Amino acid sequence: MKIAVIGNGRCADLFLHLISGELIGIQIIKVAARAFELRRDQIKLTTALNINFNKYFICTENLSAQERIQKILTSGNVNCQKIFTFEGEHDINYIRAFTDKNNISIFDFLMTDKISSTAHHMAKSLTRSEPLETRKIGFHYYGSGGGFKSQLEPIKDVLSEDVYVEFSDQIHNDKKVVLAPLSFTKSITSLDLAISSHFINVSHENVTKLTFMHVLLDFCIFEQTVMNALAHPSTHYVFCSTKPNFVKLKELIESQNFKNRIILIPGGYPFFDANFRKLQASKNKSKRKILVAPTVNLRQPEYNVNTYMAPMLPELLTKLAYHYDKTEITLRLHPQDMADYFGGIDSQNAQKIRKAIEIAKNTNNIFLNYSRDTYLEDINDAAVLISDTSSIAYSFHFLTQKPVIFLNPDQEIFKTDLRLSSFYSTKIRNKIATLCDSVDDVIRKVDNCLTMQTYEKSYFPDQVLYNFGRSAEYFNRHIDSIISKDSLENWYSNR
């Protein structure tokens, strides 16, 4: 048996990693999506037409590329029943979760008719267990690392359980969450509102979507991904956390000719509000811990040459452990980075993660953590945070008013690069943090941060957040306006 895996990007890499070692006795042929993208281990798509494959798996997140490849295959007399398309990591996540949950081998799932009938079976089981006619709001947790489910918990808390249903491409401890492929959620037309905290197209074109921003400010390197997601569905609301967040999205929207209606809501950040209340209620005082939280970014490493501290991470951990051998150091790697790492992405940054993990495992006072469940605990226990451009640095400071150190190979680039210098988050870097461009500089600054009683650079959350402390209630107060597709006076609408 032979299968063709068509694609050159992340989706294809994740799929190949998924089936590695699972499809015993099956020849896997890698096919380039375009001739100019041809790699040494691939064949051209036109060449693939001359081979009789049992299955053709198209792995690309680009919808136009999917359509083009399908057209080429079918025009080459390939039976459409043999062609299967994966739109992104959420489809790969779903296959892994579905096969694990139902004790089905990946071979059985992919090589029989199960893959084509899954959505049908899901529709039948959902109708039996979760009648949609009584649940008019859908929560969608899609994408690596749980689909930012925790970000939406405060929103669920202000709603009655009988008005919503939850979907995900991954297995959650919460048994109420329905495991479903995106192809299924996109087919549901009976919802009044689809809610997500991720820029992924999760709903039917006629179902209004509400995206909750899961970042505080405006630093964004995935602008194209954001714009692609904003283009769907026909009505798309975005619940903005802060004014910089709002302004940046407005600029992006007005720079494009979107055909759908997009409304920005100056709503606030419910997840932040909930965490702030938890920390205020906690009686535990900060411990003398150092929290290291880099942004490694395995997907687009070209962005981090001068801004991210990944290249210096092994050196930083080694020297911190030596100079502060009596101090507990927590290495908190981003769950998304770890999902990419375990998903098989191999790059220079992945090698840095591997080295950092090795150092943590072999050093008594360094502890590796990437669990979402202990996010707040790590923040509360730390006396100082060392990061680069990660949004956790701003959350850490706004939540605790404790010191932050930004380590970047080139601090000057934040002044000279027009794009970087335009971000509000860049403009306040030196107002919330000490800036360092070498590991030795960090080592010198950490001691002062560990011993200081008050932090002079304090920036407070009510200076930047909309409806600070009341954002979930703001959502609940205006949910009818959203479902009715209204736009209030202080909201922004592109049409």
The DSSP bridge pattern shows strands 261-266 and 492-493 to be antiparallel
Instruction: Give the closest residue to 296 by CA, choosing from 229, 345, 329, 249.
Output: 345
Full set of structural domains in the chain with CATH:
2-87 (3.40.50.720), 125-273+471-493 (3.40.50), 282-463 (3.40.50.2000)
Buried b (16+ CB within 10 A) or exposed e, 426-451: bebbeebbbebbebeebbebbeebee
Name the CA radius of gyration of the chain, rounded.
24
Q: How many CA atoms lie within 13 Å of 461's alpha carbon, on the beta-carbon side?
A: 26
> For the range 159-165, what are the long-range contacts, defined as Cβ-Cβ under 8 Å and sequence gap of 24 or more?
159/476, 162/134, 162/135, 163/134, 163/135, 163/136, 163/137, 164/135, 164/136, 164/137, 164/138, 164/139, 165/130, 165/132, 165/135, 165/137, 165/138, 165/139
8 Å CB contact between 352 and 313: yes
Number of Cβ atoms within 10 Å of the Cβ of 337? 23
Q: Can you give the pLDDT of all 495 residues of the chain as single tens digits?
A: 899 999 987 788 888 888 877 777 889 999 998 888 888 889 999 899 999 998 999 988 777 888 889 899 988 888 888 888 887 778 888 888 888 887 888 888 887 655 545 444 444 444 434 444 445 899 999 876 677 888 999 999 999 888 898 999 888 888 788 888 888 888 888 899 999 998 888 999 999 999 999 888 876 666 777 888 899 999 999 999 999 999 989 999 999 999 999 999 999 999 999 999 998 887 556 578 999 998 876 655 555 556 678 888 999 999 999 999 999 999 998 777 777 677 666 677 778 888 888 999 999 999 998 877 788 889 999 999 999 888 888 989 989 888 999 998 888 888 887 677 788 888 888 888 899 989 999 999 998 888 765 566 666 778 889 999 999 999 999 999 999 999 999 999 999
Q: What length does the chain have?
A: 495
Number of Cβ atoms within 10 Å of the Cβ of 116? 10
Tokens 């107002």 sit at which residue?
Answer: 431
Q: Which two tokens stand for residue 336?
A: 């998304």
8 Å CB contact between 310 and 296: yes
Q: What is the dihedral of CA 143, 387, 379, 326, to 10 degrees?
A: 130
Give the CA angle between residues 161, 162, 167 to the nearest 5°.
70
Q: 3-state DSSP call for residue 370?
A: coil
> For the range 111-114, what are the long-range contacts, defined as Cβ-Cβ under 8 Å and sequence gap of 24 or more?
111/1, 111/23, 111/26, 111/54, 111/55
Contacts of 315 (CB under 8 A, 6+ apart): 439
Q: H or E stretch including 153?
A: helix 149-157
Rounded CA-CA distance 5/450 in Å is 52
8 Å CB contact between 286 and 382: yes
8 Å CB contact between 44 and 4: no
pLDDT at 491: 97
Query: Is the bond into 311 cis (omega within 30 degrees of 0)?
Result: no
471 exposed, middle or buried (CB, 10 Å; 0-12, 13-18, 19+)? buried
What's the pTM value of the predicted model, to 2 decimals?
0.81
| Ranges of H-type helices in 255-324 | 270-281, 313-323
Rounded CA-CA distance 50/285 in Å is 68
Q: How many CA atoms lie within 13 Å of 453's alpha carbon, on the beta-carbon side?
A: 0
Residue 493: φ, ψ to 5°: -130, 135
